[in-house]
Amino acid sequence: MLNRMELIRIFSVAAQSTTFRDAATRLGTSPQTVTRAIKELERTLGELLFHRSTRQVHVTAFGANFALQARETLERVDQLFIAHSTQEAKGIVGITAPHAIGKLYLIKFLKPLMRENPGLSIDLSLDDQLTDAVANKIDIGIRVGAVRDRRYIARTVANVDLKIVAAPSLLDTVQRPGNIEDLKRLPLSMLIDRNNGRPWPWVLAEGQAFLPASPAFTCDDPETEREIVLAGLAFGQMPGYLAEPYLSEGRLVEVMQHDAPPPSELIMYRPQSGPVAPRVRLVYDRLVNCFSDPQVFAQSKR
């Protein structure tokens, strides 16, 4: 029979999975073990934790609340071990992140951690694509968008909005766009994927997407693109973390809010095989806390 802590750990993973088989894969066990653990936990609690169908499981309202408490409990347990092993936070921690997030946020988050732990070494790789953490010996990965590879434990730490913005000086000289056709007639910037040389499409609500036919500015660096937009030379679509500080100052104005696509997820991921070294757990937990705080993440400025 599984002890209660093991039951909670299995349930916590199952609550974040679409099926018990998926949870079993992430846990490195069998679907039968997951099913038995959930049934035992439901008997112990006297409450149904999941609505089950032949293809999927959906957590109940009680289960969702219990999952939140379970994660908090597991994190407190993990913190007990971290508290007694921080003196071992020495060695290299490999991190990968998108260029803009790495330059604008990650360095700021890591600097105090490195000062507190002089034995800690950070090996940072900036890449806008999902890096194969296993093959490249990366301990922690950060990316915008889903991470579906079952070799990784992935956690959503924030939501990222895409915003269409322009400088007030540009809006003084052109008609404010009300729809996608208006937008196409205006000077637009276009960002190039530096990994394959292809342009990133502009994405709007209801699955609409388009590539500017004759962009006023093209480059492969989001921060450089933002400078052109700030100068009033083009409209741009950029993630909220790049635009927010300038929107609050009035140096940028958001347009076509009604056509904004659903927010994407900012994901932190790490390989799930093997034990997590204290140095990795220390960095991972600090970054989760920093990126989860909207006051720190969304309003940060270089």
Q: List, in sequence order, every residue forming a beta bridge with 141; answer none if it has no partner.
A: 96, 269
pLDDT confidence of residue 130: 56
pLDDT, tens digit, 9 for 90 and up, residues 211-243:
999 999 999 999 999 999 999 999 999 999 899
Under 8 Å between Cβ of 290 and 297: yes
Task: Note the Cα 206 to chain centre separation in Å.
Answer: 22
Pick from 103, 49, 71, 93: which is nearest to 221 by CA? 103
Q: At what angle do helices 20-27 and 4-15 cross, to 10 degrees?
A: 120
Domain boundaries, the chain: 4-82, 85-160+264-297, 162-259
pLDDT, tens digit, 9 for 90 and up, residues 18-67:
888 888 888 888 989 999 999 999 999 999 999 887 677 889 999 999 98
Pick from 283, 273, 278: which is nearest to 149 by CA? 273
Q: Look at residue 85 and tell me whether its pLDDT is greater than 60.
A: no
The amino acid at 35: T
**Calpha distance 252→230 (Å, rounded):** 7
CATH class of 162-259: alpha beta
pLDDT, tens digit, 9 for 90 and up, residues 121-173:
999 988 876 555 444 568 999 988 776 666 778 888 888 899 999 999 999 99
Average pLDDT of the residues of the chain: 86
Per-residue pLDDT band at 84 (split at 50, 70, 90): low
To the question of pTM greater than 0.75 for the whole model, the response is: no
Q: Look at residue 97 and tell me whether its pLDDT is greater than 60.
A: yes
pLDDT, tens digit, 9 for 90 and up, residues 185-197:
999 999 998 878 8
Under 8 Å between Cβ of 104 and 241: yes
- Same fold? 4-82, 85-160+264-297: no
Q: Could you give phi then psi for residue 111, rounded to 5 degrees?
A: -55, -50
Place of tokens 């932190």: 268
CATH class of 85-160+264-297: alpha beta
Cβ-count burial 133-150 (b if 16+ within 10 Å, e if not): beeeebbbbbbbeebeee
Q: Could you give phi then psi for residue 116, rounded to 5 degrees?
A: -70, -25
pLDDT confidence of residue 140: 92
What fold does the segment set 4-82 form as a domain?
Answer: Arc Repressor Mutant, subunit A (1.10.10)
Mean pLDDT in residue range 85-102: 80
pLDDT confidence of residue 301: 46
**Calpha distance 106→124 (Å, rounded):** 9
CA distances from 38 to 2, 24, 65, 156 (A): 11, 12, 15, 24
pLDDT confidence of residue 60: 92
Under 8 Å between Cβ of 237 and 260: no
At CB < 8 A and 24+ separation, what contacts does 274-279 make? 277/91, 277/139, 278/81, 278/82, 278/85, 278/86, 278/88, 278/89, 279/88, 279/89, 279/90, 279/91, 279/93, 279/117, 279/120
